[in-house]
Amino acid sequence: MTEDKEESILAQLPRQDAVTAQLSLLKGEPAALPARGITEKTCRIYDYIATRYLMEPAQVACYRDANGLISAQHIRRQGKQFAWLGRVKGQKIQLWGQHLGSGGRLIITEGEIDAMTIYQVLAEFTPFGKESVTVASIPDGAQSAKRSISEQLLWIGKFDSVTLFFDMDEPGRAAALECAEVIGGKAATVQSFPYKDANEALLADDAKAIRDALLAAKRHRPEAIVHAPDMLANLLSPNRARGIQFPWIGWNQYTLGAKPGELWLVAGGTNIGKSAITRSLALDFARRGIKTAYVALEESCETTLERMLSEELGLNPAFHCDTPEQRAQRDPALIREALSNFAPNLFLLDRHIDESFDSFVSSVKHYVVGEECKVIFLDHFSILADGIDLKSDQRRAIDKCIKELKSLCVHYNFTMFVVCHLSRDKEKVSAEEGGEPQLYQLRGSQSLAQIPDYVVMLQRNPKAEDPIEANMTTCWLKKNRPTGRQGAMSVLHYLESCRFYEVLSR
């Protein structure tokens, strides 16, 4: 900034005595700050005065209002003690130095000293040519930076570009990024600087570092926005493996396995075998060392574990159907050995504690973060959706629930399988009688078909006269987001040993 322009700014400022008539405001004169390397002229430009407060020397930053009059003062006493005069609680306050410009390039700092520092450095030599530059400061530090910026967005929007040059500590860096999100595409942030702040660089006689940092400031890009060329390294060396493999060939041929971040829906009519199949999957995963959580909302933890033991042991009669007398006849050593094959990797949930949606979400976070589970099963969805929000209608509750479950999968990088019921179709053979299930039959909301990555629908006729046919389940893949392949991917025969045998894979 040229000396003539500085004098022009000084001439246009309202007279100091026009505002210090307010008894609450302090009188004083601008004075150089040798300990900060700031000149008297810079202090005069910014209304930074020397005075006394509570019988002690003090420095005062004078804040102007929209009319250009000084309306508040930020007092700095010895020992970095701060106070305000003339500031009304809850009232919006302009950025410090906001009266000095309204176009071109804007630089915003975390403190008043840094604002004067950068102004003075650029006044001596600017790397921005003839571009008009305004330097301002937020009034309340990093913790309130977002609020201060939000309150002055109309003024900030008048500038062509905005650079946020906050302190280089963690709060300052985080606040700069947060403010850049508020300002939008024209914002850039200084994220790399060899000093704690701009004034420290000035005192080290390194004005060049300040100019270099301003030139190197990177335009802020929200984390969710990705520039395609930046993905080249991932394209050349993808970190993508097949997901967890299923125990059935057809499921693996039609899908790429169960991958982190995916939501799977397993649907079917009443008494088709949805729980039996998902329990079998959970057992297989846990048996192979994959930490798995199985949340059964229709049965107790004991029942879930007993049914898994029935399959693990391959017993007929089934282990879970034992009377106390029959259980007493079982070999405890055999039970302990069978349990040791999968139980160390299996986590259950006591459904009697709390069936609310918020409680389930908390449990999911613990499974994934605390227990390092890779797969979570929910059996079944309707009970969970019923508890999400009693004030909303069922469809909205389901929409909200299924979307949040998908978000949890992505955020915490795990796979979730959700069991879901079907509505009856009066015009066709029902799913309970062996009719082929369709996506439109998903009970409650179309989001159940739209949000998941995969939808597996089960078809079985438990009323068939032939006992073999009555225990045959066709597994239809009705939605396949990764590859699009759909169809009858597998036929499973449920044996008397409580195990599934794949008789056909497509």
Q: Within this chain, do residues 7 and 73 fall inside the same structural domain, yes or no?
A: yes
DSSP assignment of 243-295: -BPPSSHHHHHHS--B-TT-EEEEEE-TTSSHHHHHHHHHHHHHHTT--EEEE
Residues of the chain with pLDDT > 90, as a percent, come to: 62
pLDDT exceeds cutoff 80 at 222: no
Q: Within this chain, do residues 253 and 140 fall inside the same structural domain, yes or no?
A: no
Query: 84-129, pLDDT tens digit by residue?
Result: 999 888 788 999 999 999 999 999 999 999 999 999 999 999 999 9
Which of 309, 383, 374, 320 minimizes the C-alpha distance to 347?
374
Q: Within this chain, do residues 213 and 295 fall inside the same structural domain, yes or no?
A: no
- Identify the band that residue 214 occupies on the pLDDT scale cut at 50, 70 and 90: very high
Q: Within this chain, do residues 20 and 132 fall inside the same structural domain, yes or no?
A: yes
Overall average pLDDT of the 395-419 stretch: 91
Q: Within this chain, do residues 203 and 279 fall inside the same structural domain, yes or no?
A: no
Query: 267-315, pLDDT tens digit by residue?
Result: 998 888 999 999 999 999 999 999 999 999 888 889 999 999 999 998 7
Q: Within this chain, do residues 294 and 203 fall inside the same structural domain, yes or no?
A: no
Which pLDDT does position 253 carry in this prediction? 92
- Full domain range(s) for residue 23: 3-219
Q: Within this chain, do residues 283 and 382 fall inside the same structural domain, yes or no?
A: yes
Instruction: Give the residue from 170, 203, 219 where a domain finishes.
Output: 219
Q: How far is CA 440 from CA 95, 379, 382, 405, 422, in A?
A: 56, 20, 16, 21, 9
For residues 297-320, b (16+ Cβ closer than 10 Å) or e, as one string?
beeebeebbbbbbbbbbebeebbb
Q: Within this chain, do residues 215 and 256 fall inside the same structural domain, yes or no?
A: no
Strand, helix or coil for residue 506: coil
Overall average pLDDT of the 376-385 stretch: 84
Query: 452-461, pLDDT tens digit by residue?
Result: 999 999 999 9
Beta strand pairing status for 415-421 and 48-53? unpaired
CA dihedral (117, 119, 122, 124) positive or negative: negative
Q: Within this chain, do residues 263 and 175 fall inside the same structural domain, yes or no?
A: no
What is the pTM (predicted TM-score) of this model? Answer: 0.60
Q: Within this chain, do residues 174 and 265 fall inside the same structural domain, yes or no?
A: no
What total of structural domains would you count in the chain?
2
CA dihedral (17, 20, 26, 30) positive or negative: negative
**CA 173 – CA 110 distance, rounded (Å):** 10
Bridge partners, 456 (sequence order): 266, 477
**Is 230 a domain residue?**
no
pLDDT exceeds cutoff 70 at 14: no
The single residue listed with the structure tokens 């509570």 is 54
Query: 309-362, pLDDT tens digit by residue?
Result: 999 998 777 888 888 898 888 899 999 999 999 999 999 987 655 567 888 888
pLDDT exceeds cutoff 70 at 188: yes
pLDDT exceeds cutoff 50 at 260: yes
* CB-based burial label for 30 (10 Å; 0-12, 13-18, 19+): buried
| Total length of the chain | 506
Instruction: Give the residue from 172, 201, 219 where a domain finishes.
Output: 219
**Is 310 a domain residue?**
yes
**Element of type H or E holding 111:** none
Q: Rounded to the nearest 5°, which phi and psi values hold at 37? A: 75, 20
pLDDT exceeds cutoff 70 at 241: no
The single residue listed with the structure tokens 């994959």 is 290
pLDDT exceeds cutoff 70 at 373: yes
Q: Within this chain, do residues 420 and 343 fall inside the same structural domain, yes or no?
A: yes
* CB-based burial label for 206 (10 Å; 0-12, 13-18, 19+): middle
- Identify the band that residue 27 occupies on the pLDDT scale cut at 50, 70 and 90: very high
Strand, helix or coil for residue 479: strand
Q: How far is CA 318 from CA 278, 300, 302, 467, 496, in A?
A: 18, 17, 14, 18, 8
- What does the DSSP 8-state code read for residue 61? E
Which pLDDT does position 387 carry in this prediction? 60
Query: Which conformational region is residue 372 in: left (phi greater than 0), alpha (psi within -120 to 50 degrees), or beta?
Result: left
**Is 191 a domain residue?**
yes
**CA 33 – CA 39 distance, rounded (Å):** 6
Q: Within this chain, do residues 202 and 69 fall inside the same structural domain, yes or no?
A: yes
**CA 209 – CA 207 distance, rounded (Å):** 5
Which pLDDT does position 472 carry in this prediction? 93
Higher per-residue confidence, 200 vs 482? 200
**CA 413 – CA 165 distance, rounded (Å):** 35
Which pLDDT does position 255 carry in this prediction? 93
CATH label of the domain that carries residue 86: 3.40.1360.10
Overall average pLDDT of the 439-465 stretch: 88
Which pLDDT does position 416 carry in this prediction? 97
Extract the tokens encoding 335.
């039970």
**Is 283 a domain residue?**
yes
**Is 241 a domain residue?**
no
Overall average pLDDT of the 237-241 stretch: 66
Instruction: Give the residue from 201, 219, 237 where a domain finishes.
Output: 219
Q: How far is CA 41 from CA 30, 31, 119, 429, in A?
A: 8, 8, 11, 89
**Is 40 a domain residue?**
yes
CATH label of the domain that carries residue 415: 3.40.50.300
- Identify the band that residue 22 occupies on the pLDDT scale cut at 50, 70 and 90: very low
Q: What is the mean pLDDT of the chain?
A: 88
Which pLDDT does position 190 carry in this prediction? 95
Which pLDDT does position 15 carry in this prediction? 44
- Identify the band that residue 16 occupies on the pLDDT scale cut at 50, 70 and 90: very low
Instruction: Look at 78-82, 143-147, 168-172, 259-263 and tell me which has the smallest mean pLDDT.
Output: 78-82
DSSP assignment of 195-255: SSSHHHHHHTT-HHHHHHHHHHPEEP--TT---GGGGHHHHHS------BPPSSHHHHHHS
Strand, helix or coil for residue 113: helix
Overall average pLDDT of the 6-20 stretch: 47
Q: How far is CA 146 from CA 107, 150, 154, 190, in A?
A: 15, 6, 14, 16
**Is 160 a domain residue?**
yes
- Identify the band that residue 18 occupies on the pLDDT scale cut at 50, 70 and 90: very low
**Element of type H or E holding 140:** none
Contact between 178 and 146 (Cβ < 8 Å): yes
Extract the tokens encoding 474.
């066709």
**Is 138 a domain residue?**
yes
- Identify the band that residue 80 occupies on the pLDDT scale cut at 50, 70 and 90: confident
